[in-house]
Chain A
Amino acid sequence: MSSPPVRAAVTGRSLGLRVCTRCRATLRGIAAAAQRCPRCRSPVHVRRPHSLATTASLVITAAILYIPANVLPVMRTHTFLSDQDDTIMSGVISLAHSGSWPVALLVFFASIVVPLLKLIALGEIVIAVSRRSVRQPEQRSRLFRVVEYVGRWSMLDVFAMSLLVALVQVQSLATVEVRPAALAFAGVVVLTMLAAQSFDERLLWDGESRG
């Protein structure tokens, strides 16, 4: 907990002070004008250049990949009787049918709900900032932090798949094979993580500081 600031909405920018977003050091004294953080040597900016454009393009790319990732099969199971293709959703359904409800729910959230929520949330944030919306920076920053935190959990299915592929290689009995949509799925996870990392959170608050 901390006491009130110097005055309402006195910002680093209004004081001519910059902060390193990597190690969180405030640059002051002789270092105040340096190109790089004196502590960790990361580049320091008043606002990260092209942050909004980078985030927006990554979100759009991820949104396009989200479609094949969910519509096309990510895995194929060969058995001596038949071949079965599984999408992310059909994998969840077969888990639920085999009676493992908690695990099915977990995979459903990590693989379907979380990526979709990330795309919607990041899209909303990008649109709000590009329209210079000054309302609700508190809610948006809370939303952004949730997105940043839960993003990595979508890798769950990729890890599960890697183990299934390694284990189920019993020639003539059963083998598990990866299908191309798995790449699209991993792409969604990685690109949305990069999108969140390239976003400069301070953009959410700039309207407030001006007004």
Chain B
Amino acid sequence: MSVIVCHACDLAHREDGIVPAARVRCVRCRAELYRTSAAGVDTAIALALAALVLFIIANAYPLVAFKVNGTTRMATLTGAALGLYDQGYATLGLLVTFTAVLVPLTQILAFLYVLVPVRLGFRAPGQERLLRVLTALRPWGMSEVFVLGAIVALVKLSSEAEVAPRIALVAYGLLMLMLAAMASVTPTEQFWRWINRRHR
């Protein structure tokens, strides 16, 4: 008899008593024990590639334009972090870079690094550690918060100057959707089943 222990309340569940479902929850605390997804490796890779392209656009072009006295100022993602750094707030600059740039990039690259070999039938070295890092980073990826933050900045300025969203903000908004889709087609269990058929 095999047992699944809930990670959130430690309740033991008999595996043969679990009714197969897309999402299996703990009977006591309702935490998600595991979730399955019908999507294949190809879907996950396609989403990650789309996210990579959007990430490049979001970083290479200006997010917003600010027009005052006939001159236009543009802000890029790196410009926003550097502005904080220039004013002596390197910590804040790093925090913005980490949550809005580095974590999403790491997520995309780690996805491709692990899944492309799965698709081609071999194992990427160090994939277990990488997936562990990926799980740990999940709460620190804040692309959707950043998009909303950019909208707040636009609204704040709109009463005093002419401001407009630019191509990178659109790309970043789409990147946010891609990252959400990537997370939804790869529940933790699915990832492990793909890369390591010995467990579960």
Q: Could you tell me if B153 and A160 are in contact, using CB atoms closer than 8 angstroms?
A: yes
Find residues 2-26 in chain B having any chain A CB closer than 8 Å to their own CB. Answer: 2-14, 17-19, 21, 24-26
A201–B3 alpha-carbon span in the complex (Å): 20
Find residues 20-78 in chain A having any chain B CB closer than 8 Å to their own CB. Answer: 20-26, 28, 38-42
Find residues 103-133 in chain B having any chain A CB closer than 8 Å to their own CB. Answer: 128-129, 131-132
Known: A106-B152, A152-B139, A202-B8. A165 touches B132 (CB 8 A): no
B45 interface residue (CB < 8 Å to A): no
Q: Could you tell me if A2 and B17 are in contact, using CB atoms closer than 8 angstroms?
A: yes
Q: Could you tell me if A17 and B145 are in contact, using CB atoms closer than 8 angstroms?
A: no
B149 interface residue (CB < 8 Å to A): yes
A15–B5 alpha-carbon span in the complex (Å): 10
B155 interface residue (CB < 8 Å to A): yes
B49 interface residue (CB < 8 Å to A): no
Q: Could you tell me if A12 and B10 are in contact, using CB atoms closer than 8 angstroms?
A: yes
Among B14, B135, B148, B155, the residue within 8 A (CB) of A5 is B14
CB distance from B146 to the nearest CB of A (A): 5
A120 interface residue (CB < 8 Å to B): no
Q: Could you tell me if A163 and B10 are in contact, using CB atoms closer than 8 angstroms?
A: no
CB distance from B71 to the nearest CB of A (A): 8
Minimal Cβ-Cβ distance residue in B for A10: B12
Q: Could you tell me if A182 and B13 are in contact, using CB atoms closer than 8 angstroms?
A: no
Q: Could you tell me if B18 and A20 are in contact, using CB atoms closer than 8 angstroms?
A: no
Tell me which residues across on chain A come within 8 A of B8, comparing CB atoms. Answer: 141, 201-202
Among A5, A98, A156, A163, the residue within 8 A (CB) of B27 is A5
Q: Could you tell me if A15 and B199 are in contact, using CB atoms closer than 8 angstroms?
A: no
**Which of A3, A25, A163 has the most chain B CB within a 10 Å cutoff?**
A163
A161–B87 alpha-carbon span in the complex (Å): 12
A41–B126 alpha-carbon span in the complex (Å): 11
A103–B25 alpha-carbon span in the complex (Å): 36
A46–B28 alpha-carbon span in the complex (Å): 19
A81 interface residue (CB < 8 Å to B): no
Q: Could you tell me if B80 and A163 are in contact, using CB atoms closer than 8 angstroms?
A: yes
Q: Given contacts A2-B33, A155-B142, could you give 16 more A-B pairs where the C-beta distance is less than 8 Å? A: A2-B26, A40-B135, A42-B132, A91-B156, A151-B139, A157-B152, A158-B92, A159-B100, A160-B149, A163-B75, A166-B80, A170-B73, A173-B68, A178-B87, A182-B92, A197-B139
Q: Which 10 A-B pairs have the closest CB atoms?
A: A159-B149, A12-B5, A166-B83, A163-B153, A166-B75, A205-B9, A19-B5, A162-B80, A160-B152, A98-B159
Chain B residues close to A by CB (< 8 Å) = 2-14, 17-19, 21, 24-31, 33-34, 63-64, 66, 68-69, 71, 73, 75-76, 79-84, 87, 89, 91-93, 95-96, 99-100, 128-129, 131-132, 135-136, 139-140, 142, 145-146, 148-153, 155-157, 159-160, 163, 188-189, 192, 196, 199-200
